[in-house]
């Protein structure tokens, strides 16, 4: 039969991480503070609110010079332990590993004219270590971790000034790594910029709801420009390299068959795909004109911006997928991941309320492929759970194996449906600090890390049962699940 029955030979199996959730060493070798390192741990099992950084919380965070209550400053000490960690990834057979380059290691405040050599040295070594095992680096340029200096100086992406700082950063890292890195990603989960600080790096103290939206969408515009300029820059420097955009995919279902609910779902879907529409197609989609008008949002563009967007179209679309959601007419669809929407009675959920939906991944893959016709790349998927070693000292994480197996089966179905998929990078191959709650106890890894929410523990790494399972999956190129 003439449709694909297996994963392609060069399929990129691996895992995904972000600097601020693993590296630690927050002030080592000249690194500046990032927007991630001023966020405290949330109350147990609670989601943070995306806009919860205020002038006061920022002042308090700046006064704290040590790790204090800010777990992302400590990570899992990957900064020092990366050779052993990469070796474990290599033992699983990883073909690719997604890392981010912490902008503030290279430009500590964001606005320096010259890069910090010690920061570059770290990534020289890290990338060399990956290459040693033929692990393909997939590099995110901005993963919720812009230099805090740019928030203090300009209010982050709310200001156009940041574009040139970002361009200087990308120029520096492209020049240095363009021959070693083929797959790049500009902004992690860029669409979450519609939810506030974590993506925009812009404070929202004292703003009305309308003003918040205005500021967020203007910040997104600056990121679109920065992303497009970086894409063009990369293509000029190394035409073989590939640039991707990155979407937090929310597969949304209607609560009922009432056409009003179906329409609300379609609108939620469009809004979820607004950023990728701009980055893949190179222009703003028409439906946003109405959204902007109804919310009194005016995007300030400079002459030439539209040409910049057209020229800087991405080569592939990467995305995270954890769950699906449900909406109905009258619901606020804009909160995505972090509000969960309505519940789907057919699905089970994690202790954090994330509803597990493997078939939703197949639906998403098909919808994204139908809409864009560019290669897709799953660069995050996984399950965060509370875990502790059993009496035998091991971690028996069958639920993780089940979760991943079911999602990989659906990927294979989507490939058979005709979707072009570059790879699968499981989120959090080693336990790390949660993005949305800053908890250590929300564990995703194939590898257990002995550290608790307070930072106590030996940091010892122990493979879980899923480690050996994934090793087999990769060795058989997805045949033995
Ligand atoms: C994505 C982020 O939203 O989901 C990651 O890109 C994050 O940084 C992952 O860690 C899982 O979310 P959380 O909040 O469980 O860590």
Q: Which of 52, 71, 380 to mutate to test the pocket of ligand 1 (most atoms within 8 A of CB)?
A: 380
Closest ligand 1 atom number to CA of residue 433: 16
Active site residues: 380
End-to-end Cα distance, the chain:
23
**50-104 per-position pLDDT tens digit:** 557 999 999 999 999 999 999 999 999 999 999 999 999 999 999 999 999 999 9
H-run or E-run covering 272: helix 259-272
Closest CA to 309 of 214, 185, 226: 226
At 331, the pLDDT band (50, 70, 90 cuts) reads: confident
342 in helix, strand or coil?
strand
| Cα separation values, 15 from 39, 135, 232, 411, Å | 25, 10, 27, 16
At 339, the pLDDT band (50, 70, 90 cuts) reads: low
427 in contact with ligand 1, CB cutoff 6 A: yes
pLDDT-above-70 percentage for the chain: 96
Nearest CA to ligand 1 atom 12: 435
Contact 321, 361 (CB under 8 A): yes
Task: Give residue 103's pLDDT.
Answer: 98
**103-121 per-position pLDDT tens digit:** 999 999 999 999 999 999 9
431 in contact with ligand 1, CB cutoff 6 A: no
**393-429 per-position pLDDT tens digit:** 999 999 999 999 999 999 999 999 999 999 999 999 9
Nearest CA to ligand 1 atom 4: 435
pTM above 0.95, yes or no: yes
Contact 481, 409 (CB under 8 A): yes
Contact 436, 47 (CB under 8 A): yes
Task: Give residue 48's pLDDT.
Answer: 61
Distance 248 CA to ligand 1 centre (A): 9
Mean pLDDT, range 37-60, rounded to an integer: 81
Closest CA to 105 of 37, 52, 153, 55: 37
Task: Average the pLDDT over each of 19-28, 103-112, 342-351, 406-415 and give the range with the smallest value.
Answer: 342-351
Q: Which of 142, 436, 437, 438 to mutate to test the pocket of ligand 1 (most atoms within 8 A of CB)?
A: 436
Nearest CA to ligand 1 atom 16: 434
Distance 379 CA to ligand 1 centre (A): 11
* Dihedral, CA of residue 197, residue 363, residue 292 and residue 331, to nearest 10: -80
User: Apex CA 426: angle with CA 166 and CA 95, to 5°?
Assistant: 85
Determine phi and psi for 379, rounding to 5 degrees: -110, 10
Domains and CATH numbers, the chain: 12-475 (3.20.20.80)
Rounded distance, CA 358 to CA 223, Å?
Answer: 31
Contact 379, 319 (CB under 8 A): yes
At 335, the pLDDT band (50, 70, 90 cuts) reads: very low
187 in contact with ligand 1, CB cutoff 6 A: no
Buried b (16+ CB within 10 A) or exposed e, 133-151: eebbbbbbbbbbbbbbbbb
Determine phi and psi for 187, rounding to 5 degrees: -110, 125
Closest ligand 1 atom number to CA of residue 18: 8
Closest ligand 1 atom number to CA of residue 47: 14
Distance 436 CA to ligand 1 centre (A): 6
Rounded distance, CA 33 to CA 62, Å?
Answer: 9
252 in helix, strand or coil?
strand
**245-296 per-position pLDDT tens digit:** 999 999 999 999 999 999 999 999 999 999 999 999 999 999 999 999 999 9
User: Which ipTM did the prediction report?
Assistant: 0.99
Contact 102, 34 (CB under 8 A): yes
384 in contact with ligand 1, CB cutoff 6 A: yes
At 352, the pLDDT band (50, 70, 90 cuts) reads: confident
Closest CA to 419 of 480, 385, 371: 371
Nearest CA to ligand 1 atom 9: 435
* Secondary structure (DSSP) of 357-389: -HHHHHHHHHHHHHHH-S-EEEEE----B----
315 in helix, strand or coil?
coil
Mean pLDDT, range 7-11, rounded to an integer: 97
100 in contact with ligand 1, CB cutoff 6 A: no
Closest CA to 188 of 388, 17, 434: 17
350 in contact with ligand 1, CB cutoff 6 A: no
At 330, the pLDDT band (50, 70, 90 cuts) reads: confident
184 in contact with ligand 1, CB cutoff 6 A: no
């Amino acid at each position: 039969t003439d449709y694909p029955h297996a994963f392609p030979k060069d399929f990129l199996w691996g895992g995904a991480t972000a600097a601020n959730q693993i590296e630690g060493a927050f002030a080592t070798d000249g690194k500046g503070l990032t927007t991630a390192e001023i966020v405290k741990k949330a109350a147990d099992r609670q989601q943070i609110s995306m806009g919860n950084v205020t002038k006061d919380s920022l002042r308090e965070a700046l006064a704290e010079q040590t790790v204090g209550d800010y777990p992302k400053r400590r990570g899992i000490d990957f900064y020092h332990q990366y050779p052993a960690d990469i070796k474990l990834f290599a033992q699983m057979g990883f073909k690719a590993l997604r890392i981010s380059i912490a902008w503030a290691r290279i430009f500590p405040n964001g606005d320096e004219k010259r890069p910090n050599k010690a920061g570059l040295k770290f990534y020289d070594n890290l990338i060399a270590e990956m290459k040693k095992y033929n692990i393909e680096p997939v590099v995110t340029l901005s993963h919720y971790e812009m230099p805090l200096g740019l928030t203090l100086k300009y209010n982050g992406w709310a200001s156009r000034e940041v574009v040139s700082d970002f361009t200087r950063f990308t120029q520096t890292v492209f020049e240095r790594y363009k021959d070693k890195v083929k797959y790049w990603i500009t902004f992690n989960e860029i669409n979450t910029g519609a939810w506030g600080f974590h993506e925009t790096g812009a404070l929202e103290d004292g703003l009305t709801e309308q003003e918040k939206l205005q500021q967020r969408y203007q910040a997104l515009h600056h990121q679109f420009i920065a992303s497009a300029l970086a894409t063009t820059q990369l293509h000029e420097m190394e035409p073989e390299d590939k640039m991707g955009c990155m979407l937090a995919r929310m597969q949304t279902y209607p609560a009922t068959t009432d056409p009003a609910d179906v329409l609300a779902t379609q609108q939620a879907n469009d809004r979820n795909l607004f950023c990728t529409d701009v980055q893949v197609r190179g222009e703003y989609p028409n439906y946003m004109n109405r959204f902007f008008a109804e919310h009194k949002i005016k995007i300030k563009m400079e002459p030439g911006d539209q040409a910049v967007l057209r020229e800087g179209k991405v080569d592939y679309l990467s995305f995270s997928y954890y769950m699906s959601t449900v909406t109905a007419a009258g619901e606020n669809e804009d909160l995505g991941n972090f509000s969960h929407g309505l519940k789907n009675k057919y699905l089970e959920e994690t202790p954090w309320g994330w509803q597990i939906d493997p078939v939703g991944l197949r639906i998403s893959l098909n919808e994204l492929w139908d809409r864009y016709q560019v290669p897709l790349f799953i660069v995050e998927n996984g399950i965060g759970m509370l875990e502790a070693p059993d009496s035998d000292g091991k971690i028996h994480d069958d639920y993780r194996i089940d979760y991943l197996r079911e999602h990989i089966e659906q990927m294979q179905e989507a490939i058979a449906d005709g979707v072009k998929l570059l790879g699968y990078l499981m989120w959090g191959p080693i336990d790390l600090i949660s993005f949305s709650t800053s908890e250590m106890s929300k564990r995703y890894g194939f590898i257990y890390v002995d550290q608790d929410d307070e930072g106590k523990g030996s940091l010892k790494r122990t493979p879980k049962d899923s480690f050996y399972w994934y090793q087999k999956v990769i060795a058989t190129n997805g045949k033995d699940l």
